[in-house]
Amino acid sequence: MVLEDATIVDLYWSRNENAIYESNIKYGKYCYAIANNILTDNEDSEECVNDTWLGAWNSMPPNRPDKLKHFFGKLTRWLSLNRLRDNGRVKRGSGELKVALEELEDTLDSNADVEHKIELYELSEHINSFLESIDEMKREVFLARYWYMASISEICRSFGFSESKVKNMLMRTRKELLKKLKEDGLC
Amino acid sequence: MLSDDVLLALNTVRDEFLEKTWESLNKQATAQKTHRKISRTALIAAIIAALLVASALALQAISKPEGNSIGWFNNVMEHQEGAGLSATQKDAIAALSYSGGVTASDNGVIVTAESLTVGRYNAIIILGVTFEEGNITPTAQYSFEIYGCDLDVPDDVVIDYGFTQSFYFSDEETNKAYIVIGLDANEEIMELTRFADTFLLNFENLRCRDTESGETTSVEGHWQLPVVLSASPELETIELGNMSVRSSAQLSWPLHIQLPCRMELQNVSISGADITYSQDSKYTQAMMVFGKPVGMRYLEICAVLKNGVSISTVGGSGFTDSDGLVVFSYRWEVPFSLEDVDYIRFGSSKVFINR
């Protein structure tokens, strides 16, 4: 039986180590998919997923997340990006991450002031605001690509779009994002 | 702004957006193969359970201290573990310790180096303070206003040692107050006696703070104690070489959270008195992700003895060597025999000894 999120959170709060087992049962697959899209390495991805449970153990209490899935997902994504840096394996990622970075660079860096200093939290707020303002389908394709690091072919298969449509949609969204960030004085 | 920034900033995207995207992604996608390892998960749970048990140790009654090295370390153990030194620990400390045998007197105050415990990189010195006339105040804490040490070295050699002072206890029976001095090799010295083995300890102005009345009085004076530091020839070392350990990082962005991370340690070497290792300087600096400072790593080290007692590191110093590695040395809070060690815990990694 898969436990409710609130029950799993209670396990963490009561320092019951079954919390980790239950987290893995319920969200292990999800977190592994996020890690592996970034790391493209089975062993590293497994370790990042396990690090996610330890991170969760250290953060609950005091945190009491409403939705464990995305709490864990964000932790896994963050740990995976960190893992790449720590490994020093590939300077700026590999697999879909590398391609995704290049896509973003093509759009965002063309006219960007690279000396412009910006706090990440401020950028987060502006990007969140941008994502709220755009069409739902565009948003999902954008996040599938740049949050979950899904490949173009995966996105085509899942959304039922042609490759050119997905690529065009992504390019347009990136340009809109650049425009919005410029308007906001962020680049 | 770089594309990396966007990728990182996306980590705080709203949960409902992620949920819908994930649902869409999995509408027709084939189930991804996962490689869960329940055994590993169970192992993590077991480690956490063990940590919980370790933290549940109760504090027990503390006996009257003794004014020597064994007394001092026994007192530390009683405070921290609720039990004093084991017989083998006492033997190990006795092997590292010897009588200072030097005394200085000024303005009616006699200061004696009662006992010295010397490792490779640090020393603990127990000082006894008595008055030629009058008694010590049993409710007072004694300390020196100014303290330091000089070495007989050429003028162009600048040496810096870490020097700490802490009040130990006042013994009415012997009419003596005890002060503990910690000496750590600092900066680029590493080995405590690399330049000289005779240290001229300097103390000025004895302060007495009555813990009941809150009053502080002072006796002016200058006391110089030439102590000879000599690491015991019986001090064994074990070379553990290079290792990758699981440590912790305190992130400040995007969540204020403590997360596991890895650290690569090199040339790890332990003795019953201390531990030393080297590591890349990136582990000691702010963690940078795509040029942004996001947190700091830290590594807790402790020795766990076969009787379950855990001994932490204290003091310590570090410097960057010619290869760009940061070399650290730490003192064990209480010395022990290497034969008694079960494992050394680096962060959440265990390195077993004697198996």
Q: How far off is chain B from A119, nearest CA to CA, in Å?
A: 9
pLDDT for the residue numbered B276: 92
The whole-angstrom separation of Cα A21 and Cα B44 is 9
Q: Do B21 and A86 touch (CB under 8 A)?
A: no
**Taking the model in full, what pTM does it have?**
0.56
Q: How far off is chain A from B352, nearest CA to CA, in Å?
A: 22
pLDDT for the residue numbered B345: 95
Q: Do B21 and A139 touch (CB under 8 A)?
A: yes
pLDDT for the residue numbered B65: 79
- Amino acid in position B276: T
Q: Do A150 and B25 touch (CB under 8 A)?
A: yes
pLDDT at A95 over 70: no
Cα angle B298-B299-B301, degrees, rounded to a multiple of 5: 155
The whole-angstrom separation of Cα A61 and Cα A13 is 5
Percent of chain A at pLDDT above 90?
21
Percent of chain A at pLDDT above 70?
85
Q: Any idea of the CA torsion for B183, B186, B188, B190, to the nearest 10 degrees?
A: 40
The whole-angstrom separation of Cα A27 and Cα B206 is 63
Q: How far off is chain A from B309, nearest CA to CA, in Å?
A: 23
Rg (CA), chain B: 25
Give pairs for A81-87: CB < 8 Å, separation 24+.
A81/A38, A81/B7, A81/B8, A81/B289, A82/B259, A82/B261, A82/B287, A82/B289, A83/A39, A83/A44, A83/A47, A83/A48, A84/A38, A84/A39, A85/B288, A85/B289, A86/B261, A86/B262, A87/A44
Cα angle B58-B47-A8, degrees, rounded to a multiple of 5: 100
As for the ipTM of the complex, it is 0.83
Tokens 């680096």 locate to B346
The whole-angstrom separation of Cα B163 and Cα B126 is 13
pLDDT for the residue numbered B61: 38
* Optimal mutation site among B21, B247, B250, interface A, most CBs of chain A within 10 A: B21
The helix-helix angle for A163-183 and A120-133 (nearest 10°) equals 120
pLDDT in tens, chain B (355 residues): 566 677 778 888 888 899 889 888 876 544 333 333 323 333 334 344 433 333 333 333 345 678 889 999 998 888 888 888 999 999 999 999 998 889 999 999 999 999 999 988 889 999 999 999 988 998 899 999 888 888 777 766 666 677 788 888 988 888 999 999 988 876 555 677 777 788 889 999 999 988 888 888 999 999 999 998 887 777 889 999 999 998 888 776 656 677 778 889 999 999 999 999 999 887 877 776 655 667 778 888 999 999 999 999 987 777 777 788 888 888 999 999 999 999 999 988 999 997 6
For residue B254, whether the previous peptide bond is cis, meaning omega lies within 30 degrees of 0, is yes
Task: Name the band, by pLDDT with cuts 50, 70 and 90, for residue A113.
Answer: very low
pLDDT for the residue numbered A15: 83
Task: Name the band, by pLDDT with cuts 50, 70 and 90, for residue A114.
Answer: very low
Q: How far off is chain B from A84, nearest CA to CA, in Å?
A: 10
Task: Name the band, by pLDDT with cuts 50, 70 and 90, for residue A133.
Answer: very high
Q: How far off is chain B from A172, nearest CA to CA, in Å?
A: 16
Q: Could you tell me which chain B residue has the CA closest to the CA of A23?
A: B41
Q: How far is CA A136 from the centre of its chain?
A: 18
Q: Do A131 and B17 touch (CB under 8 A)?
A: yes
pLDDT for the residue numbered B49: 40
Give the strand pairing for B325-332 and B274-280. antiparallel
The whole-angstrom separation of Cα B25 and Cα B31 is 11
**Do A70 and A78 contact (CB within 8 A), yes or no?**
no
pLDDT for the residue numbered A187: 67
pLDDT for the residue numbered B334: 94
Q: Do B13 and A128 touch (CB under 8 A)?
A: yes
Q: Do A158 and B27 touch (CB under 8 A)?
A: yes
Residue among A32, A45, A158 minimizing CB distance to B29: A158
- Amino acid in position B151: L
**Pick from B208, B202, B215, B207: which is nearest to B145 by CA?**
B207
Centre a 10 Å sphere on the Cβ of residue B323 and count the other Cβ atoms it contains.
9
Using an 8 Å CB-CB cutoff, list chain A residues near B4: 92, 101
Please list the residues that pair with A113 across neighbouring strands.
none
Q: Do B1 and A118 touch (CB under 8 A)?
A: yes
Q: Could you tell me which chain A residue has the CA closest to the CA of B22?
A: A144
Q: Do A109 and B292 touch (CB under 8 A)?
A: no
Alpha helices in chain A (DSSP H): 5-13, 18-39, 42-59, 68-87, 95-108, 120-133, 136-146, 152-159, 163-183
pLDDT for the residue numbered B238: 93
Q: Do B289 and A15 touch (CB under 8 A)?
A: no
The whole-angstrom separation of Cα A31 and Cα A53 is 10
Q: What are the pLDDT digits (tens) for A24-50?
A: 889 999 999 999 888 888 888 888 898
Using an 8 Å CB-CB cutoff, list chain B residues near A79: 259
The whole-angstrom separation of Cα A121 and Cα A128 is 10
- Amino acid in position A167: K
